[in-house]
Amino acid sequence: MTPGRRVVVTGIGVVSPIGTGKDAFWAGLMAGQSGVGRITRFDPSGFDTTIAAEVRDFDPTAYMDKKEVRRNDRFVHFAYAAARMALDDAHFSITPQNAEQVGVVIGSGIGGAETWERQHEILLERGPSRVSPFFVPMIIVNMAAGVISILTGAKGPSSSVVTACATSGNAIGDAMRLIHRGEANAIMAGGTEAAITKLSIAGFCAMKAMSTRNDEPTKAVRPFDAKRDGFVMGEGSGIVLLEELEQAVKREARIYCELVGYGSSEDAYHITQPDPEGDGAARSMANALHDAKMEPSEIQYINAHGTSTPYNDRTETIAIKRVFGGDAKKVPVSSTKSMTAHMLGAAGGVELIASALVLQNQVLPPTINYEFPDPECDLDYVPNTPRKAAVRAAMSNAFGFGGHNATLIVRTYDGR
């Protein structure tokens, strides 16, 4: 790390099932709004799960021209929209003078799923010569970062992270490290996902990982609740503009918060199930605290991974207790997935944004649908309604298939 280089969040861009743009997103959180409904992107009849949290009424041509829309998958549409919002929110211009110091680190868990399926159908029905010449660049995960760089002119470090549902937590943490090392002064970082497709839903259904509460879609995502029965898939993108502090101060940028801690770990246990003792998740949180030079008692809010699956919610609760000890029940914990559903590779970015907005507004988003306490999940989950609170530092968790864990810590910037 270059001595003294600190990283702050100066821009926010979000596309979510409960609102596009930071104001609509925050309003959705404060209203306890569920984004879950019957799937409309295809006919889900015959699927075990017929519900998802779709981004409705999204027009990609509001952010990119029609030619670019045709040449890119939906996950890239979401990413570019969120990146554009983050730049505009920060009043940050990329110029020939600063372009080489502006980077892009954007990941996705799955990438161009919709294009994969559509082009495979064309191959089978019309033959190989009719497959789009844009097929490969439309499906590969790195194209979100690539297109954002191309359309904004950012020429600094550019990469993609793929760690399943930990993706954008790792992406934001990796971007922070690049700024620490002096390799960039500003980076658009986060994740994007658009995997509400026939094959994706069928695959997760086959794993028995998804909720089948099809008759009550808005109550299907119920993190930490005793009657939770699986996750619900969401889609969208969450991207922040990270800047080196001195640059942000010099240009009189609005600073949402300082990104002070990043921890990462691996369960090394199972391809889908978390370590039942929460070892990897606990180490990720502990690593982030160590990186931030903070004690657990200095955290006033945790935005949990909180997927609404029986395994995850139990093990995350265990992990929090391992790290926070006797203070665990004093720390408010909420899962905003109860409203957005699980946005897979975009989840960590959207939830880091929620945490930054908590610091700005001093209100905790609720965990909705919390009706039946689970004896194994016995923390303060901010049930059902928002809560005013004094929050100086917040932790955000993102855990993924394969045992990947990422934790970020943000703290109020007070000018010192």
Count, in order, helices (H) and strands (E) of the chain: 13, 15
- Count the neighbouring beta carbons within 10 Å of the beta carbon of residue 277: 14
Residue 404 is among the residues annotated as catalytic for this protein: no
Q: How is residue 44 written in tokens?
A: 């889900």
Count Cα atoms within 13 angstroms, Cβ side, for 25. 28
- Count the neighbouring beta carbons within 10 Å of the beta carbon of residue 129: 6
Residue 165 is among the residues annotated as catalytic for this protein: yes
Tell me how many degrees the CA angle 202-369-346 measures, rounded to the nearest 5.
50
Residue 342 is among the residues annotated as catalytic for this protein: yes
Given 165, 180, 377, 404, the catalytic residue = 165
Given 77, 180, 342, 404, the catalytic residue = 342
- C-alpha torsion sign, points 115, 116, 119, 121: negative
The residues, ordered by sequence, that sit 6+ positions from 190 with a Cβ below 8 Å of its Cβ are 13, 79, 82, 106, 107, 168, 171, 172, 237, 238, 239, 240, 346, 348, 349, 352
Alpha helices in 31-97 (DSSP H): 66-70, 74-90
DSSP 72: S
Answer whether 382's CB lies under 8 Å from 336's CB. no
How many angstroms separate the CA atoms of 45 and 39, rounded? Answer: 10
Question: What SS3 state is found at 275?
Answer: coil
- C-alpha torsion sign, points 346, 348, 354, 360: negative
Given 77, 180, 257, 305, the catalytic residue = 305
How many angstroms separate the CA atoms of 41 and 223, rounded? Answer: 25
Active-site positions? 165, 305, 342
